[in-house]
Each structure stands twice: as C-alpha cells, then as structure tokens.
Chains A and B, each alone.
Chain A
Amino acid sequence: MDCIKKKVNEELAAGWIGSNKACAYHPCHFTGQDCTFCYCPFYPCNDTTFGNELTGKRGNKVWACSDCLFIHRPEVGKFVIARAKELGIEQAGDPRFMDIFKEAKERYYKRGRALMVVGATSDAGKSVTVAAICRILHSRGYLVAPFKSQNMSLNSKVTRNGSEIAMIQTLQATAAGLKNPDHHMNPILLKPKKDTVSQVIVCGKPYADYDVEGYYSEFVPGPGREIVREHIEFLKDRYDYVIMEGAGSPAEINIYDVDIANMRAAEIADADVILVVNVEWGGAYAYALGTVELIPEGDRKRIKGIILNNVRGNPENMRSGADKLEEMLGIPVIGIVPHADVVLPNEDSVSLRGVRMKGKGKSVIGVVRFPRIANFTDLDPLFLEDVSIVFVQGPEDLEGVDAVLLPGTKNTVADFLWMRETGIEAKLKELWKKVPIVGICGGYQMMGRVLHDNGIEGGVEQDIEALGFFDNETSFGEYKKVILQDEGHMLVGDKGEVTGYELHMGITDVKEEPMFIIENRYVSGPENEGSVRESELTFGTYMHGVFDKPAFRRYFLSFVKHDGKPVERREVEDYDAILNENLDKLAKVFEDNMDMDALLRIMGARE
C-alpha cells in the first residue's frame, strides 16, 4: 500500500502526461490509453462496478481491479489530475480523492451497450464484421470489447493470465486496440475431439468433455446460461461497447431453446442484432429472409439491420434485391460489402476444406494435414516469405517437398496412428535428415521416441513407438493441460526474439539440446524450450505462433533449399504489424460500404 502511495505521489507531482509511449510496457491496456495514473489514486475505491474483493492467502481481504480501465480513459486521467491540482491535493490517500472519483464517475461513466452480430450460416463473415466494428469504434475513441459466448474452434490462444480462448476473439481484441484479451471475451470454448465430442473450456480452463446431447441437456441449462450472463455484465461494466458474435446460424429451430450463443445471449445482454449474410455462395436473400422469419417474434424485434457481405462483382447489382428484402422484412440492409482482400487468420478448418496448396513461393513446405489439425494459424506468417504450402494427406504429397512441418493436433495419438496408416510416417522417415523437419506442439510430440498413453488421449492404454527423430518421450497421464504465454529468445541462430503460447495435454521428457530460452515477463524464472538437432535438420517446439516473429522463421528457412537454392530473403516483417494494417484495411472496406449513420444509430452512438 505504501508503495502505491509513493507512486501516486510521484504521479501527482509529474502532472498530466497522456500516453506514455516511452514506457517499455506501453500500451499495457489499450492503444490511446492515458498513463497519468499508472497507479490509481482511488485505490481501493471499493466500487464493485470496477472491481471486487478477493481473499488473500492469509485470509486477508484484497481489492482486485486489474481489469478496470476507467482511470486510463484519456478524458478521466486529464480530469482527475486537473481537479487534484485545483483542490491543491499533493498527497495520495487524501480523502478528497473520493469526491473526485464520484464526480468523475458521474461525468464520464456510462454503462456499456451491447450489439450482436449473427450470421445466416457459419463463415458468413461474423468474425470479420465484429473485428471491423471494433476497429471502427476504437478509432472513434470508444473502449470496445469483443465477445463470443460460445465458440467452437481448434484455433485458440493463451491470454496473459494463462487462459485459453478462441484465437478469433484475440484478433478482434487487437482490432479494438486492446492489449490483454481475456476469458471474459470468450467464456466458453468448445474444442472438437471426435465427431460428436468436444472438450469444453470454461473461463479459459478445461472443464469437461461433452457430447452434443450432454452439452445441450446438462451443460447449457446448468452452468451455461449463468456463465454467459456473468461475463457480458462484466464487460458492459468496463467498456463503452461490447460487440458480440453469434455462432453458426441463429435460426436452427431444432435447438433454438438451448442455443446460448445467439438470440439467448442477445436477450441476456439486451443487445440489438445485425444479421450478416455471405453473398458469395448465392441464395443470400433466401438465407436472410429465412433466418429472420424463423426467429420467434419476440427475438426478431432485436434484429435492426442486415449486411450482405463478401460481394464479388459490383455491389450495386445487389441493390434491387436488397430493396425488395427490406420491403418484405421491414429491416434495412445497412451494408452491401464487397469481398475484402485482407490477410487475416482463418477461424475454422472449414476454410481448409478442399485446399491443397496455399501461397505462391518457390520453396515448398509440406504441412501434414492431420484430421484433427489445430492452431493452423501458426502457418500464416510463412506466407510473408517466398514459400508455398502443400497440405499433405498421403505419402505421395510429400514427393518433392523442400521441408516438412508437423503442426498441432487436438489428438496426438490418434493423428499419429493416422500417419502410420496412410504411410506418411514411413515417408517422413525417408525424408529425415534430407530436408528440414519442424514439429509444433502435437507434431513435436510425435517426433519423439515414444508416446505413453494411459488411454486419456487415444482411448486405450498403449505405448506407441513414434518417429524417433528426437530421444524425447511424451506421457499422457492426466486430464491436465499446460496453458502458457511465452516470451523469450533463441539459443541458436541469431539469438533473436521469439513469442508464442503453449497449449497441450501431455508432458514431454526432453533429452535434446533446447532451441529457446523462455523468460516470461509475468511468470517466474527462465526455462528451456524445444529441441534441436541442427546437423540433422530436425527442429521441434511446443510454442504456437513460433513463426510470428521473424527470428525463428528466418532461422528455419535458412535450412530450406529449393533445387539447391536457398529461400530468397525478403524484408523482415513482423506479423503483428501486418495484422494491424490489415485490420485497418478491413475496417475501411466496411466503412466505405455501410450506412455508418444507420450503424451508429443502432449502436446508440448517434441518437
């Protein structure tokens, strides 16, 4: 407490500083934040809108408010420091701070509103629409949070607090200018394990496995609804807008009453709704009309606008049909948005359906297309380089590749056995030491000598002799998951910076030279990570996102030769910077093709 007081005293003496771009941690909350009070002068305010009381290890009460952004709002920081000066306050803990707090809250605090984006189908463009709206509102100075109550995806990321949430919500948070996406933004994550069974992640932690029937009959009516309510309320307390994303279609009449991802969530959040339809496949008017009309009347009233998305060709051609649709439904078509040519990560493996090659580069990397491939956004930064990717589904696809990548999987044992069955395993053994091979997460586990499974991964107890490219052994023993955000640097190559995140079942006994040293900013002690046998062109790591920073990407590609020639060097690019540029581009496409007045009116940003 004294430490905080000392800091606040320093802050009072320094006066208004706005955004402190010189700070190594800047921006630690959101782009454009006010840093005048890095330490809050109101602490502990005991206002439960902004925080809550926790019980410490020794039974002591602690006020926790690390998710509160109020004091970092530019208008609030400025007001508080000016008021303190006016009143001649020079010391932290001055009781008059409570008056200032009350006044600031009265002036600048307004509880957030929610808007929901639903789609007529999966892949309708919900996620990008949410991302675009987040960016549009962020650039107008609002504090915005994305939200998806229930996401089914095998592409997840780890938050600063060690929670696992869907990758797409972290991307939307980036669009909103937020630095620390958290499990509030995606409290329920479903990760498909088998055809009808999913691992359910709640608040960023593994909760249980459910089949479809069990999920809808037990989980949803049980804890499900309450979880959704709690996190929507949490975000509405702290942000100006919560932009919610639906899941699949909101008009699945066979499961309507148990669907907590769409209109039920909108009701809980008291949100207006925008319907997005992907025009590319045709039938868009029918999908739009059918979706609206199959939703029961009470919920239907929430739908305030329709966006026809992903138009290829002239958007004007859609207008006459849109007018008829408006007339039939009494709901305006607020946007006819052309296909946005942006590079953003894909959410579902549906996007990989039928895709056999990607990229235009000369060097060819064979990526084993596991049936349960996970976190394949790992590949995206590779397209910044002079490489292309072939998705390997059989040994013949490995013919002539210049390198091999074994990506992550939701089920290491089952997918390894699949590789054995298809003959990919045998072909990989042939290629070993001839071309570079890198494994990430599940792929890395397979590169070891043995997979010990007590049945939790593959269904039966067995020890499987794996690829044996490393001497490592991996054990799947308990229903426990490693969830970590990593920052560190390479122990090989140019010793450059690496970042990423770990998400895995199974623990590996590593008997190889490490590839990275991890020095997490928020977690204690440096630790070795990964395995490398440079002379044998063999590399492995648990770290997803390992290609995002240029250092490892460059290092790995330096071993890749196409027709004896190395991969052409391109200017070093940071994937995060490229994502940001593309988010701007995306937002612009939406702004240019939407009735922004109508959108802002729906949002309540323009009355």
Chain B
Amino acid sequence: MKVLFLGTSSGAGKTTVCAMVCRRLAQLGKGPVPFKGSNLSLNSYATADGGEIGIGQAFQSWAAGVEATSDMNPVLLKPAGNGVIQLVLDGKPYRDVTKAAPMEREEVMDHVTAALSRLESEHGIVVCEGSGSPAELNLLDRDVANTGLMRAAHVPAILVADIDRGGVFAAIYGTWRLVPEDVRPLLKGFVINRFRGDRAILKSGIERMEELTGMRCLGILPYEFLRFPEEDSLSFAEGKLEGEDPRAAFLSNLDEMVQHAVESGFDFDALLEIAGSGSSSRGHPEGADLGIGREHRVHGDRRAVHQIKVGVGAEAQGAHRVLYGPLGHIVRGP
C-alpha cells in the first residue's frame, strides 16, 4: 500500500501531515514507512545504514517507529552554492548538478521507484511526501517526486492545502486542473490544513470541490505547528546527550497533533482505502514490533561529526544550527 501527499504550495504542511499520518498508522499497527522521492534540502540526516537523507524523512521515521534508511529519500539535492547542487543518490554523493549538467528524470527515476518498491515490500504502507507543488507548469516535464512518481509507480495521491493563506479552494481546484490528465485520476482526496474558526462555514465550499473534482475531503486539520527539534530544547556537552530528549519531545508533540486530528474526524479509513487502490499491494507483518518509543542506540564514530542546518526545508521557521553525528544522533549544540 502506498499514498502520496502533495502540497498545493511549499509549506502547505506536507511534512507535518505525513509525520502525523505515520504516527497514527503506527498506532493502528499498519506498518507505515515514510518516503520522499526527491528532496531539495540543506538539512540532512545520516542513517544507520550509512546513507544521507533529508531530515524530514528522519523525523517521519521516528514518527513511524522505524529506523531511518536511505531508501526513504533516494534523491537528495543539496545546494552547494554558486548554482552547484550536490546530487545524493541512494544515500551516497553521486555527482554535482549544474545549469550545464542538470539532473535528468531518466537518470534517477528507476532508483526512486526501486527504493519505493523495496519499502513497499518491507512495510505495510508507504507514506510518500511530494515536493513543492505538483502543478508548476514550467517544471512538469522534469518532475520526479510528484506527478513523476505518480506516473512511474501508480501512486494514489492526496492534496494538502493551507487554508491559513486564503484561496484554499482555488489552490485545490487549480492544482487538480493542472495535474496532467493521464495521472489526474490518481488524485483521490484533499486535506484542508491549518484551519481556525467554525468549520461549518467551509461546508458548501467543500461539497462544491468534491463535486467539481471527484476528490473527497479527508479532513480539516486545525492550525498548529509541529515543533521539530531545535536548538533551544537541546543541551549537550562532550557528545553526550543531556537534558530533554528531542525525539521524545517531538513524539509527544506529534501525539497531541494525532489526537487533534482524530478528534476533528480526520478520515483515516478513507486514507487506507485510497492507499490500497494503488497498483501493487503486498503483505506486511501486521502488528509486528514497530519499535515505537524504542531507544535507538548510538553507535559508530562520534568524531566524524559534520555540521548541518536543522529545520525542515521550506517549512522551517528559521534555521537552527545543530551538530549531528554520522548516525543521525544529535551530539552537540552550537
């Protein structure tokens, strides 16, 4: 089973919604695993299998209760300055992408679908995150993580739209209209994110949207920001973790968010139904030990620390500098 969350814009709340969904599905014993086909981010994480992935998928793996692996983010693009972007493929630096030598979809797409299919065979449900908006007319023919993935792996998709900015119906309808016709039938649902106020006022608009597009509304999520680990909550010395455990703090914050989503009537059944409508669906170890809350042991060479910026892509509310160990464990604050 697999499902792809697409944003109607950057910062629509994809990363957070995916983390929330991973957490909930883990609670339900559905065996979720996060995935992002292609990620443009400076913020990376070192996985236990020695690969480098976007930090968002690492946080989502905490939420899903699984160890982060390089399959969760097979393509990572890290801006290196001066128009040069480092392409990290399957967790390993692959080559520099420049204006003269851009990344070609053909070059990476097989790696992306292969990683997705490995995850699908190992886990109950792959919760995929898109990148930016899937309706960038000038970028459609190069898209990997959105319509590219839908086409290559027949992944059903759900739109996440930020209502706090206004124009939410235009965003949903416009995105649906601009997604190429061959994959448009895979757009199955939408989520209205960051809502404040009386939900009744949205009713007529939602009905009209469902009627116009055939997608169904899975829920209206309340306005809240997931607090990703940041420097304020950390206090470290000599590579030894002290003070509040950022992972525990993150997960407890996420649990609150799951609670709010459940209370608001978010339709997880419909989500599972949509996820099951994709092309291939394999068995998974139902009810297996998902390792939620399990302590992940630090192992490996602590000296090989590299400095990166933490925060989650466009969603970051200001970047925070933190030191990460090679195994993804925070070892020292600035």
Give the CA-CA distance A196 to B314 in the complex, in Å: 29
**A122/B174 contact (C-beta < 8 A), A195-B196, A282-B136 known:** no
Give the CA-CA distance A552 to B138 in the complex, in Å: 51
Q: In angstroms, how far is the closest chain B Cβ from the Cβ of A278?
A: 9
User: Is the beta-carbon distance between A287 and B174 smaller than 8 angstroms?
Assistant: yes
User: Is the beta-carbon distance between A285 and B317 smaller than 8 angstroms?
Assistant: no
Q: Which of B138, B164, B205 has the most CB of A within 10 A?
A: B138
User: Is the beta-carbon distance between A325 and B11 smaller than 8 angstroms?
Assistant: no
User: Is the beta-carbon distance between A287 and B136 smaller than 8 angstroms?
Assistant: no
Give the CA-CA distance A285 to B170 in the complex, in Å: 10
**Contact partners of B168 in chain A: CB under 8 A:** 249
User: Is the beta-carbon distance between A249 and B166 smaller than 8 angstroms?
Assistant: yes
Is A123 an interface position by the 8 A CB rule? yes
Give the CA-CA distance A294 to B166 in the complex, in Å: 14
**Contact partners of B11 in chain A: CB under 8 A:** 281
Q: Pick out which of these stretches binds chain A: B2-10, B25-33, B85-93, B301-309.
A: B2-10
Is B102 an interface position by the 8 A CB rule? no
Q: Which of B172, B178, B202 contacts A285 (CB 8 A)?
A: B178
User: Is the beta-carbon distance between B167 and A285 smaller than 8 angstroms?
Assistant: no
Is B173 an interface position by the 8 A CB rule? yes
**Contact partners of A468 in chain B: CB under 8 A:** none
User: Is the beta-carbon distance between B204 and A196 smaller than 8 angstroms?
Assistant: no
User: Is the beta-carbon distance between B136 and A285 smaller than 8 angstroms?
Assistant: yes
Give the CA-CA distance A195 to B222 in the complex, in Å: 13
User: Is the beta-carbon distance between A120 and B201 smaller than 8 angstroms?
Assistant: no
Q: In angstroms, how far is the closest chain A Cβ from the Cβ of B264?
A: 16
User: Is the beta-carbon distance between B205 and A286 smaller than 8 angstroms?
Assistant: no
Give the CA-CA distance A212 to B10 in the complex, in Å: 29
Give the CA-CA distance A121 to B133 in the complex, in Å: 15
Q: In angstroms, how far is the closest chain B Cβ from the Cβ of A439?
A: 27
Q: Can you name the residue of chain A whose Cβ is closest to the Cβ of B315?
A: A354
**Contact partners of A319 in chain B: CB under 8 A:** 138
**Contact partners of A196 in chain B: CB under 8 A:** 197-198
**Contact partners of B9 in chain A: CB under 8 A:** 281-283, 287
Bitwise interface map of B from 110 to 150 toward A, beta carbon under 8 Å scored 1, else 0: 00000000000000000000001101111100000000000
User: Is the beta-carbon distance between B165 and A290 smaller than 8 angstroms?
Assistant: no
Bitwise interface map of A from 246 to 277 toward B, beta carbon under 8 Å scored 1, else 0: 00110111110000000000000000000000
Number of chain B residues close to chain A: CB under 8 A: 41
**Contact partners of A282 in chain B: CB under 8 A:** 7, 9-10, 132-133, 136, 314
Residues of A319-368 whose CB lies within 8 A of B: 319-321, 324-325, 350, 353-356
User: Is the beta-carbon distance between A252 and B169 smaller than 8 angstroms?
Assistant: yes
Give the CA-CA distance A255 to B10 in the complex, in Å: 26
Q: In angstroms, how far is the closest chain A Cβ from the Cβ of B113?
A: 24
Is A288 an interface position by the 8 A CB rule? yes
User: Is the beta-carbon distance between A283 and B138 smaller than 8 angstroms?
Assistant: no
**A290/B167 contact (C-beta < 8 A), A283-B175, A285-B174, A356-B318 known:** yes
Is A291 an interface position by the 8 A CB rule? yes
Q: Which of A248, A254, A294 contacts B201 (CB 8 A)?
A: A254
Q: Which of B137, B175, B314 contacts A321 (CB 8 A)?
A: B137
Give the CA-CA distance A93 to B172 in the complex, in Å: 65
Residues of B172-220 whose CB lies within 8 A of A: 172-175, 177-178, 196-198, 201-206, 208
Total A-B pairs, Cβ < 8 A: 131
**A248/B167 contact (C-beta < 8 A), A254-B203, A286-B178 known:** yes
User: Is the beta-carbon distance between A253 and B204 smaller than 8 angstroms?
Assistant: yes
Give the CA-CA distance A352 to B198 in the complex, in Å: 24
Give the CA-CA distance A238 to B206 in the complex, in Å: 43
Q: In angstroms, how far is the closest chain B Cβ from the Cβ of A324?
A: 5
**Contact partners of B132 in chain A: CB under 8 A:** 282-283
**Contact partners of A248 in chain B: CB under 8 A:** 166-167
User: Is the beta-carbon distance between B171 and A324 smaller than 8 angstroms?
Assistant: no
**A253/B169 contact (C-beta < 8 A), A287-B9, A293-B177 known:** yes
User: Is the beta-carbon distance between B169 and A294 smaller than 8 angstroms?
Assistant: yes
User: Is the beta-carbon distance between A120 and B170 smaller than 8 angstroms?
Assistant: yes
Is A318 an interface position by the 8 A CB rule? yes
Residues of A295-323 whose CB lies within 8 A of B: 317-321
Q: Which of B133, B167, B198 contacts A252 (CB 8 A)?
A: B167
User: Is the beta-carbon distance between A286 and B174 smaller than 8 angstroms?
Assistant: yes
User: Is the beta-carbon distance between B208 and A253 smaller than 8 angstroms?
Assistant: yes
Give the CA-CA distance A577 to B208 in the complex, in Å: 49
Q: Which of B171, B177, B202 contacts A283 (CB 8 A)?
A: B171
Q: In angstroms, how far is the closest chain A Cβ from the Cβ of B164?
A: 8
User: Is the beta-carbon distance between B201 and A290 smaller than 8 angstroms?
Assistant: no
Q: In angstroms, how far is the closest chain B Cβ from the Cβ of A435?
A: 22
**Contact partners of B201 in chain A: CB under 8 A:** 212, 254-255
Is A289 an interface position by the 8 A CB rule? yes
Q: Can you name the residue of chain B whose Cβ is closest to the Cβ of A122?
A: B166
**Contact partners of B136 in chain A: CB under 8 A:** 282-285, 321
**Contact partners of B318 in chain A: CB under 8 A:** 354-356
Q: Which of B10, B177, B204, B317 contacts A286 (CB 8 A)?
A: B177
Q: In angstroms, how far is the closest chain B Cβ from the Cβ of A235?
A: 26
**Contact partners of B171 in chain A: CB under 8 A:** 121, 283, 286-287, 290
User: Is the beta-carbon distance between A123 and B165 smaller than 8 angstroms?
Assistant: yes
User: Is the beta-carbon distance between A287 and B170 smaller than 8 angstroms?
Assistant: yes
Give the CA-CA distance A54 to B8 in the complex, in Å: 54
User: Is the beta-carbon distance between A289 and B138 smaller than 8 angstroms?
Assistant: no
User: Is the beta-carbon distance between A121 and B175 smaller than 8 angstroms?
Assistant: no
Give the CA-CA distance A287 to B132 in the complex, in Å: 13
**A291/B174 contact (C-beta < 8 A), A123-B165, A283-B135 known:** yes
Q: In angstroms, how far is the closest chain B Cβ from the Cβ of A541?
A: 32
**Contact partners of A353 in chain B: CB under 8 A:** 317
User: Is the beta-carbon distance between A317 and B138 smaller than 8 angstroms?
Assistant: yes
**Contact partners of B196 in chain A: CB under 8 A:** 195
**Contact partners of B169 in chain A: CB under 8 A:** 251-254, 290, 294
**Contact partners of A318 in chain B: CB under 8 A:** 138
Give the CA-CA distance A252 to B135 in the complex, in Å: 20
Give the CA-CA distance A248 to B169 in the complex, in Å: 12
**Contact partners of A285 in chain B: CB under 8 A:** 135-137, 174, 178
User: Is the beta-carbon distance between B167 and A120 smaller than 8 angstroms?
Assistant: yes
**Contact partners of B208 in chain A: CB under 8 A:** 253-254
Q: Which of B138, B166, B170, B204 contacts A320 (CB 8 A)?
A: B138
- In the assembled complex, 5 residue pairs joining A and B whose CB atoms fall closer than 8 Å, in A order, are A121-B167, A254-B201, A283-B174, A290-B167, A317-B138
